[in-house]
Amino acid sequence: MQRLYQAGNRFEAQLLSDLLERHRVDNAIFGDYLTGAIGELPADLCPSVWIMRDDDLGRARALLDEFLADQHRGPTRSWVCRGCGELVDGSFDICWRCGGEGP
């Protein structure tokens, strides 16, 4: 078992853990509830994602690189649906209104 990444917060740790799970990389989040001890422990303690099997570490690091690259890309551009003309947030691949596919 090896630590892969120390997340900035619980949400980031869960997003990474979910990505790893989708790719069948067995993992666990440790330190999840340390924020409840703020005042008693140092303030810089954050949850970390650990890989359970050492042979998954290489694949997990590649997925982590992909995860971090996606985080730094910033918001995606909105698009206009060709089917109904609805303005759709760039994080969606299909139109919420008519189901039309994005660009």
pLDDT one digit per residue (tens) for the chain, 103 residues: 999 999 988 889 999 999 999 999 999 999 876 655 555 655 556 899 999 999 999 999 999 999 998 777 666 788 899 999 999 988 788 998 999 988 8
Backbone φ, ψ for residue 60 (5° rounding): -65, -40
Alpha-carbon gap, residue 22 to 16, rounded angstroms: 10
**Sign (positive/negative) of CA torsion 21, 11, 41, 61?**
positive
- Domain ranges, ordered by start, for the chain: 2-72, 75-103
Q: What is the CATH number of domain 2-72?
A: 3.30.70
Alpha-carbon gap, residue 62 to 32, rounded angstroms: 23
